[in-house]
Structure formats: structure tokens, C-alpha cells
């Protein structure tokens, strides 16, 4: 198959391109070419999706399948559909942020918002991010209809993850000792980037279509962390700390400096509790949490276990919390 990856030089896009190349497909990656190299065997065509004519370098080309991992911009998606929307299969990677009520398990979506938004603003505003994903989904479904696969991805982990969230836990638990964890019954789930890429290419080959939550099975966060510890840090002791104490010490939710990654407030408690069953019935096969943790730890070691992190609890803050329990 001739497969166009809109992206292909970082994280999910690059992993998907590598998976397609490994199966013998003719792979073209369309990107600025600034985030990193494409996988060996893939062709890079440099484009600028911010420009109305930014896909001109691909003019006249035809593809059997298109995979779009566009992060935020509705115009990017619309222009790609205008250029290549006749492809036999179209995958758009959306987000569970498309759901309007992250504290509920219904399928109510945000209203579409189609204007271009600055990345720095959108990535800080879950509603703006989710609504642009909805606008993009609607454009894909309007154009590709029964040829489209929409994957509303949850927390994507694995090698080349740039956000340090799941990797924080693999790193910290591998060191052992007392580890501060939130005292919560919060459900949580992840999806390994390699598993998601495999499913995307499987779906292109098989013609799988529909709208799915792309995520592994949900379980209580503390159970998930226990599986991570069993795989990479069996000597670690999980010390449950009440939310009130964590907030007193200015520990943040979900991600960012001075945070406990994957921990969410009750207002978002079902953001990590989507139903993985339909995706698994459609061919998605998630690896065990322990294996995902081992992969994440290997990546952490390549980067350096003591590097400055984008997410996680600094050692001195953790010790301060432990000392006051």
C-alpha cells in the first residue's frame, strides 16, 4: 500500500511510519522535517500545514491510506481532506478530550470550533483542544464517511514520549524506597505508542472503520502503579497521601513540574475510565502494564534518570511530604 503519514517525525507519527515500513508498505511522511528524522525506509516530503498551499509539494500524488496525527489545527485537517480525501482509508487520531464531560461516561461531545487557534493557547485549554478535535472529526466523517477511522486516544506512553508522565512513575518506582502516591480511587488507563501504531496500520490493511476510544483497559490508578512497581521496582513502598496534604504542598495534578502524573481531580475522574472493549473487538491489542513500564524505563535510562523532568515530583518535595506524615 501507498501510505501517507501526515507527520511522521515524532512520537506517534514516527512510530506509525516505522510500523508501516516494517511491513513493506510504501510510506511518505509529510512534515516540516524539524522535529527529527523519518524512519529508515520512509520518504520525507517537507510541507507547511499552516500555509493554505502548504501541501503543494504532494500535488498530484495518490495514496491508498492516510494517517493524520494533527494535534490541534482544524485547517490542517480540512486542507488534507481537500487534497487526499479520496484515499481508500483515512485514520484521524483524535483525543478523549473530545468528550464534553470528563467526569461522566456518556458520549456527549463538545460543539465544534473550527477557527485556527494558537498552539500555546490551545494546549492550555482542554475545552479549546477538545472542541478543535471534534471539528476535525466532523470534517473527516463528512468527507471520508464509511472510509474513516477515528481514534480518540487517551494517554499515550512509550519511547519518545515528550511529556514525562508515565515515564515518571517507571523512573521513580525503579529507584525503590518510599514513594508518594495520591490516596485515590481514581480510574486510569494508558495506551502504549507501539500498540497504537500497530492498530493503526492493521486498520489500514483491513479497512477497519468507525469511531473508537483508543485506550487500554481502565483500572484504579493505585493498582496500575502497583503493576508498574512489580515490573520495575519491586522494593518500592507506595505511600498513600491524602489529596489535602498534596495540595498543601502545592503538588499539581496530571502533569507538569511538581506534579504527580496521571492523578486527576474528581471533576475529571472518568477521563481515564473509557471503555476499551469496542477498540479491542476491532483489533486493538494492548500490552500488559508491566511491559509498558519496562519500555518506558528503558527510554528513561536512555535520556538519563537524573535529568530535569517536564513532569513529576522533585525528590526534595517528596521527602518534605514524607517527613510530615
* pLDDT at residue 120 tops 80: no
Instruction: Specify the pTM.
Output: 0.94
Instruction: Indicate if the alpha-carbon torsion angle 172, 174, 178, 179 is positive or negative.
Output: positive
CA distance 156 to 267: 21
Q: State pLDDT tens for residues 126-153.
A: 678 888 889 899 999 999 999 999 999 9
Burial 137-169 (b: 16+ CB within 10 A, else e): bbbbbebbeebbbbbbbbbbbbbebebbbbbbb
For the chain, give every domain's residue range: 2-153, 165-188+219-271+288-323
Q: How confident is the model at residue 73 (pLDDT cuts 50, 70, 90)?
A: confident
> Confidence class of residue 111 from pLDDT cuts 50, 70 and 90?
confident
- In Å, how far are 33, 34, 175, 226, 321 from 30, measured between CA atoms? 8, 11, 40, 40, 47
Q: Hey, how many other C-beta atoms are within 10 angstroms of the C-beta on 185?
A: 9
Q: What is the pLDDT of residues 224-279, one digit of tens each?
A: 999 999 999 999 999 999 999 999 999 999 999 999 999 999 999 899 999 999 99
Percent of the chain with pLDDT over 90: 81
Distance CA 175, CA 285 (A): 30
Q: Is the dihedral of CA 32, 4, 44, 194 positive or negative?
A: positive
Q: How many other C-beta atoms lie within 10 A of the C-beta of residue 240?
A: 11
2-153 has which fold?
Answer: Rossmann fold (3.40.50)
Q: What are the residues facing 44 on neighbouring strands?
A: 29
Q: What's the confidence (pLDDT) of residue 146?
A: 95
Q: How sure is the predictor about 188, in pLDDT bands with cuts at 50, 70 and 90?
A: very high
Angle value at C-alpha 198, between 196 and 202, nearest 5 degrees: 115
> Above 80 in pLDDT, residue 207?
yes
Amino acid at each position: 500500500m501507498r501510505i501517507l503519514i501526515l507527520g511522521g517525525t515524532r512520537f506517534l507519527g514516527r512510530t506509525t511510519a516505522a510500523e508501516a515500513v516494517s511491513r513493506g508498505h510504501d510510506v511518505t511522511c509529510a512534515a516540516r522535517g524539524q522535529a527529527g528524522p523519518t524512519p529508515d525506509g520512509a520518504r520525507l516530503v517537507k510541507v507547511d500545514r499552516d500555509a493554505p498551499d502548504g501541501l503543494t509539494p504532494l500535488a498530484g500524488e495518490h495514496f491508498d491510506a492516510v494517517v493524520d496525527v494533527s494535534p490541534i489545527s482544524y485547517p490542517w485537517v480540512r486542507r488534507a481532506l481537500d487534497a487526499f480525501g479520496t484515499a481508500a482509508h483515512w485514520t484521524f487520531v483524535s483525543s478523549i478530550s473530545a468528550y464534553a464531560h470528563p467526569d461522566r461516561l456518556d458520549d456527549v461531545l463538545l460543539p465544534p470550533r473550527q477557527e485556527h487557534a494558537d498552539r500555546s493557547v490551545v494546549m492550555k485549554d482542554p475545552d479549546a483542544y477538545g472542541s478543535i478535535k471534534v471539528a476535525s472529526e466532523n470534517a473527516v466523517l463528512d468527507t471520508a464517511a464509511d472510509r474513516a477511522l477515528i481514534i480518540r486516544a487517551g494517554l499515550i506512553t512509550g519511547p519518545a514520549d515528550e511529556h514525562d508522565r508515565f515515564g515518571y512513575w517507571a523512573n521513580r518506582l525503579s529507584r525503590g524506597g518510599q514513594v508518594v502516591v495520591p490516596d485515590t480511587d481514581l480510574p486510569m488507563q494508558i495506551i502504549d505508542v507501539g500498540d497504537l501504531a500497530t492498530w493503526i496500520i492493521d486498520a489500514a490493511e483491513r479497512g477497519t472503520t468507525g469511531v473508537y476510544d483508543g485506550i487500554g483497559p481502565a483500572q484504579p490508578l493505585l493498582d496500575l502503579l502497583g503493576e508498574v512497581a512489580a515490573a520495575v521496582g519491586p522494593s518500592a513502598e507506595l505511600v498513600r497521601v491524602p489529596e489535602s496534604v498534596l495540595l498543601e504542598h502545592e503538588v499539581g495534578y496530571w502533569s507538569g513540574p511538581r506534579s504527580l502524573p496521571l492523578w486527576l481531580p474528581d471533576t475529571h475522574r472518568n477521563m481515564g475510565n473509557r471503555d476499551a472493549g469496542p477498540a479491542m473487538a476491532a483489533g486493538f491489542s494492548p500490552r500488559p502494564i508491566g511491559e509498558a513500564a519496562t519500555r518506558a524505563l528503558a527510554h528513561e535510562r536512555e535520556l538519563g534518570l537524573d535529568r530535569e523532568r517536564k513532569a513529576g515530583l522533585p525528590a526534595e518535595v517528596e521527602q518534605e511530604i514524607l517527613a510530615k506524615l
